[in-house]
Chains A and B, each alone.
Chain A
Amino acid sequence: MKIIACYSNKGGVGKTATSVNLAYELAQAGHRTLLCDLDPQGASGFYFRVKPSKKLKNETFFNDVKRFTQAIRGSDYENLDILPANMTFRDFDIFLSRMKNSRSRLKKALKLVDNDYDVILLDCPPNISSLSESVFKAADHIVIPVIPSTLTVRTFEQLLDFFKQHKLGKKKLIPFFSMVQRQKKLHTDTMDQLHSRYKKTFLETTVPFSSDVEKMGIHRAPVTTFSRNKPAAKAYHSLWNELQARL
């Protein structure tokens, strides 16, 4: 079983859209996938029409193995289940740190579903301050949506610094350009610069800024299910294909 985190230390970069569409692509490719909505805003769950879990709010979540597995809900799509949002930022930190701690009950809880899933995808909240080294150690791969604009690039570089300072392996970081507007010179210039500065780091696929992605909120479904032939859907499909080669 692989753990993939979809993470950005900046909000509004298309992280949840990435998690939802990537999870859908994974499932469609035949991988049994569990999407954990760790963002307390519960947007991933909302897109799959899964109501937030009322029972799982605090520490009991980690201590009650049965409750953990009982909180999982089947989505409307084959091979794709959802763990709806239920935690605070603080819990998220604990969640990931315990994931790699063999003595933790959470580890045991995940073991219980280990045989049920090939991939666990984590939709993480946008925050760096509460994240420790162990947070980044937890995931096998960290997918990072980056808008090619000054502010987002800055936060991406902060993340790289953080990795450097804490001597974390940068290999698991998989950034890609998100919400790209090709008509903006700033966007294309920034992408060119970053591609040459961080060779072979960014994925080739770019996800465009798209009203179809915004419409996910109306349809409450992955973009491919209602706009299969539109650029955004194609981009997520290609993102998955490229990512697959890196995993």
Chain B
Amino acid sequence: MSKPENMNFTLEGDIPDNSLGEKLGNLTLEYHQSENTTPFQLLDCFDQSIRQSGQALIYTDKELLLLQADGTMLSQPAVKADGFLAEQSAGTVKEALSCVSPLRRIRVVGHGTFSDTLVNAVDSEKKTHARVHLRTFRVNATDSGMTQATLQALRGYDSAFELLKHKIIELGYKEEHDITSMYTRLIPDYQPYTAKPVIDITQDELAFQVANDIIRIHIEIARLNEPGIISDEDTEFLHDYRVLLRKVRSVISLFKGIYNDEQTQTLKSAFSELMSPTGRLRDLDVYLLDRDNFFGLLPESLHDGLTIMFNLFEKERNDQVKKISKHLKSAAYNKSINSLLILFSGTADLQEGPNADRTAYLYARELIWKRYRKVCKIARAIDSTTPDTEVHELRIHCKKLRYLMEFFSPMFPAKTIKDLIKALKVLQDNLGLFNDYSVQQESLQTFITEHTSKDSKQNLSIAKSVGALIAMLYQKQLAERAKVISNFELFDSLTTQQQFQKLFNT
């Protein structure tokens, strides 16, 4: 016999006082009502990670309250509502919010007032047999609100639980399996957000239509990140924005023959132009987010030069944020991205290529199969003497393969495609690090060249520290390089080969 579970119910509107009556069988119902209605702020990250984890986070009266999926309410003191989770003191709520990325700022997404009432069904000894927590949330004074009832199960008192449940249902409460419905209920223009949209594709849809849909939706979601980049709330807005636009660009280059050559070229340069102003800011974000790790790579005696470098990065970052804010607010940018959106919404003006009329399913299989074969061909030829350029080549093809599988995933068995992407991910992460270390060495070398032209104590310090950092990154790059062969062997299992064959070989 396991422990009984709590149940959640919701009711549109307010609950009248003492609505459950005074008695529950032989038990007496005791009401403990909060004296006032309390203002609250509903919180979530921009990526809605809290709602997606099945929880709801509320700030009220210097407390963070976390309503969990089973109706349990956790609480902890908090000095403010918004900010990064790391800024909050240790507590049960913070501990339960493992879904929140340390890079994401928690923000106020809605507000209103709430009142709560605890109803205990007690026996002659004043022992509680059943308990229900009623919480009414309102957006404003005219809103009739929504009431959430959490029926708490106490072990060994099943009949009282059943009686109280019956009474709640009689009052019109509906069982609620998703407590996060309060986000949609309390925020009028609430739109679910995902940085990885799964676009509905049917097998017989035309490849041209599929490409247009993917591009349009990715641009729309990328644009949702613009206000966050401008206000510089956290670094993830820019990251998502860039990933989404990069995917658009890869659709254009990977979906060969969907648009004619001239159209493909125009689109490629249009999207590259959109992305290029943001590149430096992202590089700086990556350095600054990883600051502690960089310091950890060098002995303390070499920290001075790094401190100078990171101070310069911070300053440069401030300038970049201003520059990009201006760019995103500019008429030219808005005109350019809007016209692209219109282009992919209407499609009449897009010039089709020879593959435009092919069905999505056959087209996808061919693209993925070809790319998979290419990945295998390059990877199988890699040994310890292969030049780094080949390894870079492999990374690019792996990325392309991953994007293709993600774009077309709705047309294939979900579990298999998920497993294949997962298998690829290990190799991809490995290659990604290999590339990051290589790119960072180059960019740091440029940094040294730019900042040490004059002899000064500061410049000497930079040269020493950053030089040492480059040496460390080189060692790390070598270590990643050494893992590539074994990671490919892991990916290249017989099962994976067979699955690729079965799903994609035309």
Chain A interfacial positions (CB closer than 8 Å to B): 30, 48-51, 66, 69-76, 81, 112, 115-116, 220
List, in ascending order, chain B residues with CB within 8 A of A73's CB.
154-157
Q: A72-B155, A73-B154, A73-B156 are in contact. Are A220 and B126 (CB under 8 A)?
A: yes
Contact B128 A76 (CB under 8 A): yes
Q: A72-B156, A73-B155 are in contact. Are A50 and B1 (CB under 8 A)?
A: no
* Residue among B125, B128, B154, B155 with most chain A CB within 10 A: B155
Contact A50 B155 (CB under 8 A): no
Who on chain A is nearest to B126 by CB?
A49
List, in ascending order, chain A residues with CB within 8 A of B155's CB.
72-74, 81
Contact B157 A116 (CB under 8 A): no
Contact B126 A116 (CB under 8 A): no
Q: What would be 18 A-B contacts, judged by CB atoms less than 8 Å apart?
A: A30-B92, A49-B126, A49-B127, A51-B127, A66-B1, A69-B1, A70-B1, A72-B155, A73-B156, A73-B157, A74-B157, A76-B120, A81-B155, A81-B156, A112-B1, A116-B2, A116-B3, A220-B126
List, in ascending order, chain A residues with CB within 8 A of B154's CB.
73-76
Tell me whether B29 is interfacial, beta carbon within 8 Å. Answer: no
| B1-45 to A contact mask, C-beta < 8 Å, 1/0 | 111000000000000000000000000000000000000000000
> In whole angstroms, how far apart are the Cα atoms of A75 and B157 in the complex?
10
Contact of A76 among B2, B92, B127 (CB under 8 A): B127
Q: A73-B156, A74-B156, A74-B157 are in contact. Are A51 and B125 (CB under 8 A)?
A: yes
> In whole angstroms, how far apart are the Cα atoms of A15 and B130 in the complex?
30
List, in ascending order, chain A residues with CB within 8 A of B92's CB.
30
Which chain B residues numbered 78 to 123 have a C-beta less than 8 Å away from chain A?
92, 120, 123
List, in ascending order, chain B residues with CB within 8 A of A51's CB.
123, 125, 127
Min distance, Cβ B59 to any Cβ of chain A, angstroms? 22
List, in ascending order, chain B residues with CB within 8 A of A70's CB.
1, 156
> In whole angstroms, how far apart are the Cα atoms of A34 and B1 in the complex?
15
Min distance, Cβ A37 to any Cβ of chain B, angstroms? 14
List, in ascending order, chain B residues with CB within 8 A of A74's CB.
153-157
Number of interface residues of B (CB under 8 A): 15
Who on chain A is nearest to B157 by CB?
A74
Who on chain B is nearest to A117 by CB?
B3
> In whole angstroms, how far apart are the Cα atoms of A21 and B363 in the complex?
69
Contact residues of B: prevailing secondary structure: loop
Min distance, Cβ A72 to any Cβ of chain B, angstroms? 5
* Residue among B1, B2, B153 with most chain A CB within 10 A: B1
> In whole angstroms, how far apart are the Cα atoms of A102 and B494 in the complex?
45
* Residue among A49, A70, A71 with most chain B CB within 10 A: A49
> In whole angstroms, how far apart are the Cα atoms of A71 and B154 in the complex?
12
List, in ascending order, chain B residues with CB within 8 A of A81's CB.
155-156
Contact B156 A49 (CB under 8 A): no
> In whole angstroms, how far apart are the Cα atoms of A115 and B3 in the complex?
9
List, in ascending order, chain A residues with CB within 8 A of B127's CB.
48-51, 76
List, in ascending order, chain A residues with CB within 8 A of B128's CB.
76
Who on chain B is nearest to A46 by CB?
B125
> In whole angstroms, how far apart are the Cα atoms of A66 and B3 in the complex?
13
> In whole angstroms, how far apart are the Cα atoms of A39 and B168 in the complex?
39
Min distance, Cβ A121 to any Cβ of chain B, angstroms? 16
List, in ascending order, chain A residues with CB within 8 A of B1's CB.
66, 69-70, 112
List, in ascending order, chain B residues with CB within 8 A of A69's CB.
1
Who on chain A is nearest to B1 by CB?
A69
Who on chain B is nearest to A112 by CB?
B1
Which chain B residues numbered 390 to 431 have a C-beta less than 8 Å away from chain A?
none
> In whole angstroms, how far apart are the Cα atoms of A1 and B381 in the complex?
53
> In whole angstroms, how far apart are the Cα atoms of A66 and B156 in the complex?
12
Min distance, Cβ A165 to any Cβ of chain B, angstroms? 41
Contact B2 A115 (CB under 8 A): yes
> In whole angstroms, how far apart are the Cα atoms of A71 and B126 in the complex?
19
* Residue among A48, A74, A81 with most chain B CB within 10 A: A74
List, in ascending order, chain A residues with CB within 8 A of B123's CB.
51
Who on chain A is nearest to B131 by CB?
A76
List, in ascending order, chain A residues with CB within 8 A of B125's CB.
49, 51, 220
Min distance, Cβ B153 to any Cβ of chain A, angstroms? 7
- Known contacts A69-B1, A74-B154, A116-B2; can you find 16 more A-B pairs with CB under 8 A? A49-B126, A49-B127, A51-B125, A70-B156, A71-B156, A73-B155, A73-B157, A74-B153, A74-B155, A74-B156, A76-B127, A76-B154, A81-B156, A112-B1, A115-B2, A116-B3
Who on chain B is nearest to A53 by CB?
B156
> In whole angstroms, how far apart are the Cα atoms of A72 and B153 in the complex?
13
* Residue among A50, A76, A220 with most chain B CB within 10 A: A76
Min distance, Cβ A88 to any Cβ of chain B, angstroms? 22
> In whole angstroms, how far apart are the Cα atoms of A76 and B157 in the complex?
12
List, in ascending order, chain A residues with CB within 8 A of B157's CB.
73-74
List, in ascending order, chain A residues with CB within 8 A of B2's CB.
115-116
* Residue among B1, B2, B120, B156 with most chain A CB within 10 A: B156
Who on chain B is nearest to A115 by CB?
B2
> In whole angstroms, how far apart are the Cα atoms of A73 and B120 in the complex?
16
> In whole angstroms, how far apart are the Cα atoms of A160 and B125 in the complex?
40
Min distance, Cβ B506 to any Cβ of chain A, angstroms? 50
Who on chain A is nearest to B2 by CB?
A116
Who on chain A is nearest to B128 by CB?
A76
| B136-157 to A contact mask, C-beta < 8 Å, 1/0 | 0000000000000000011111
Min distance, Cβ A36 to any Cβ of chain B, angstroms? 14
List, in ascending order, chain B residues with CB within 8 A of A30's CB.
92
List, in ascending order, chain B residues with CB within 8 A of A49's CB.
125-127
List, in ascending order, chain B residues with CB within 8 A of A48's CB.
127
List, in ascending order, chain A residues with CB within 8 A of B156's CB.
70-74, 81
> In whole angstroms, how far apart are the Cα atoms of A8 and B476 in the complex?
61
Min distance, Cβ A86 to any Cβ of chain B, angstroms? 13
Min distance, Cβ A61 to any Cβ of chain B, angstroms? 15
> In whole angstroms, how far apart are the Cα atoms of A220 and B1 in the complex?
29
Min distance, Cβ A74 to any Cβ of chain B, angstroms? 3
List, in ascending order, chain B residues with CB within 8 A of A112's CB.
1
Min distance, Cβ B146 to any Cβ of chain A, angstroms? 25
> In whole angstroms, how far apart are the Cα atoms of A206 and B1 in the complex?
39
5 tightest CB-CB pairs across the interface, nearest first?
Answer: A74-B154, A49-B127, A73-B156, A74-B155, A69-B1
Which chain B residues numbered 144 to 174 have a C-beta less than 8 Å away from chain A?
153-157
> In whole angstroms, how far apart are the Cα atoms of A66 and B1 in the complex?
8
> In whole angstroms, how far apart are the Cα atoms of A63 and B123 in the complex?
30
> In whole angstroms, how far apart are the Cα atoms of A209 and B415 in the complex?
64
| B52-70 to A contact mask, C-beta < 8 Å, 1/0 | 0000000000000000000
